[in-house]
Amino acid sequence: MPRTKKRASRSSTSTSASSKTHRHAPLKRPTSNTQKRLWQLTQRYRHVGRPLSQRSWVGCDCAGACEPATCSCLRDQAPCRQSCVCGPTCAHQFPVCECTDGCAVGGERKKCPCYQMHYQYREGCGCFSTEGRICDDENELPKTEVKESEIPSAGLGLFAKEDIEKGRLIGVMAGEIEPNPEDPDFDCFEIADGISLRCSKEGVYYAHERHHKDANAEYRYMEGKRKREMVLRAMRYIGENDEITAQYRENGKDPCFDIYPVKGAYAMILGDTDGAKEPWVGKILSVDEKQGLTVQWLLRKEGLHWIPSPIREKIELKPGELIMTKGWVDTVDWESFIRVVWVNEEEPDGVLNKNTWWWTRRYDAVKQKMLD
């Protein structure tokens, strides 16, 4: 799927070290009632709407009045939330919105303080009681399914089994909370300062990354009923049977995965094999704006027939494993380039699957022997 260069946490705001620099642009001088409320909140709580500047991802456990010395929310310079023990009567609770047009679902999301500051709509919000327009209803999630992606050789993808309205909550990312991993980990989303959500490989995990302008959904933080969640929300109308894609970082930032081919990256290339077009994987050795890409080929299971017997019969590939070649280098034109892909240069830990590509062995095409 997922994820960062240091998806030492994929982040819906940013990844790895850069994720910690996420800040909202200064609010313009307030002109509407909503802007005035947000202005007041940002003056009172410096880190409101800034999840990665906060150390806590769950509500406070204050039994009485919240005080800066004891309240985890106030220590984070943020207002209290639904998951807090202090409850809705707390003077520091994030205020309900006054929207009446459905907010995220079919409404004006940018005008809603809950949406802007990553708070789940709740009882008391104007949209909550609007007939037929209950926002962020976790009991009425759209039906989706995981099946083979339409993106060439991308493995499994996430598809809509019904029409999904713009703004509708598609699903919540499942997983376990742990400290940020030291090494790159593409199964993690940074959920708080120094804390990551290790994603379970199910449901919305399988939404592949697409640049924000091309994606039909978005990953966002949501201060939910139980804790801070990572959710997938429709960014535009998604039709039944459409594949659901999302960028892992906010609009205006580059995707977690490179979308432009550069030297040292890996690329999916459409190649001609016995008259049939099929995707190949190559490591990019050089990039020429006119000529195209010079790549060193890697062999998937489907390409092992290029290795002669009896060497071929001795090779057993694990799920997702590729064989790097020595001596098989070609220059391919830009029309053959499909997309940049992520390939590990060591065997990954944990469960192996075809959504994870990696290599550790090399085949010498000149000497016709395995090198590793």
CATH class of the domain whose range is 266-370: mainly beta
Taking the whole predicted model, whether its pTM rises above 0.85 is answered as no
For residue 80, pLDDT over 90 is answered with yes
Buried b (16+ CB within 10 A) or exposed e, 33-62: ebeeebeebbeebebbbbbbbbebbbbbeb
More confident residue, 216 or 7: 216
What does residue 137 show for φ and ψ, rounded to 5 degrees? -80, 105
Residues whose CB is less than 8 angstroms from the CB of residue 303 and which lie 6 or more positions away in sequence, other chains included: 273, 280
Q: pLDDT confidence of 106, banded at 50, 70, 90?
A: low
Average pLDDT on 233-244 reads 93
For residue 142, pLDDT over 80 is answered with yes
For residue 44, pLDDT over 50 is answered with yes
Let me know: does 312 contact 305? Beta carbons within 8 Å. yes
Average pLDDT on 206-226 reads 87
pLDDT of 324: 95
Cα dihedral: 211, 217, 221, 224 (round 10): -170
- Among 120-129, 329-338, 351-360, which range has the highest average pLDDT? 329-338
For residue 227, pLDDT over 80 is answered with yes
Common-topology check for domains 1-256 and 266-370: no
Average pLDDT, the chain: 81
pLDDT of 129: 55
Query: Could you state, in order of their start, the residue ranges of all structural domains in the chain?
Result: 1-256, 266-370
Average pLDDT on 28-55 reads 78
Q: pLDDT confidence of 24, banded at 50, 70, 90?
A: very low
Average pLDDT on 44-60 reads 90
Q: pLDDT confidence of 255, banded at 50, 70, 90?
A: low
Q: Does domain 1-256 have CATH number 2.170.270.10?
A: yes
Compute the Cα dihedral for 100, 106, 111, 112 and give only its sign: positive
For residue 137, pLDDT over 80 is answered with no
pLDDT of 19: 34
Q: pLDDT confidence of 20, banded at 50, 70, 90?
A: very low
What are the beta bridge partners of residue 266? 283, 341
pLDDT of 113-129, one tens digit each?
A: 888 888 888 777 877 65
More confident residue, 132 or 17: 132
pLDDT of 162-180, one tens digit each?
A: 999 888 889 999 999 999 8
Task: At 297, list the tokens.
Answer: 């080929």
